[in-house]
Amino acid sequence: MLTHRSTCQGVVGHVDERLKNAQKNDPNYLEQVNGFLEKEHCFPYQGRTEFKHLLWALVADYGLEKLKKKVTKKLIGLNCASFYGCYLLRAQDNLPYDNRFQPEYLENILHTLGATPIYYQGRTLCCGWPLEVMRQKSHLSGKSPERSY
């Protein structure tokens, strides 16, 4: 399954990792999850699907050399700053692509397209979206953030 949003990859990848672990170490948990799925008329979790972000598929599966051959107008003179965020890099314990603390995939794509990658300190930090959602929920409910979780 191909994802294009880092949050989707982070959440689905984390759940997949957790359920694959349950297959080996906690069959009761997996049975409970599959019971919920059955109630919703869904197929049971089997752990055979791979969840992959478009970025990883583009670099690891398609390849930078093939991408380079498709470029008809290089982005020479364009400075580009990438943002990975936390969900793409750190939601899963076992990240099979890139380096979760010093990623290079986006910068490699930019370089392949002819642009100049710009490195800055916040490119791998959290965007704060989960915290903002919690703040909005607590604001709408009139509850303090401590009681809204």
What is the secondary structure of the chain as a DSSP string? -EE-SHHHHHHHHHHHHHHHHHHHH-HHHHHHHHHHHHHTT-PPP-S----EEHHHIIIIII-HHHHHHH-SS--TT-EEE---HHHHHHSSSS--SS-SSS--HHHHHHHHHT-EEE--GGGGS--SHHHHHHHHHHHHHT--GGG--
Range(s) of the domain holding residue 19:
2-147
Q: Is the pTM of this model over 0.95?
A: no
* Domains held by the chain: number: 1
The per-residue pLDDT string of the chain (149 residues; one tens digit each, 9 = 90 and over) reads 999 988 889 889 999 999 999 999 999 999 999 999 999 999 999 999 988 999 999 999 999 999 999 999 999 999 999 999 888 888 888 888 888 889 999 999 999 999 999 999 899 888 877 667 666 666 566 655 554 33
Nearest to 115 by CA among 66, 80, 68, 64: 80
State CA 69 to chain mean position distance: 27
Say how far apart CA 122 and CA 54 lie, in whole Å: 22
- Per the document, the length of the chain is 149
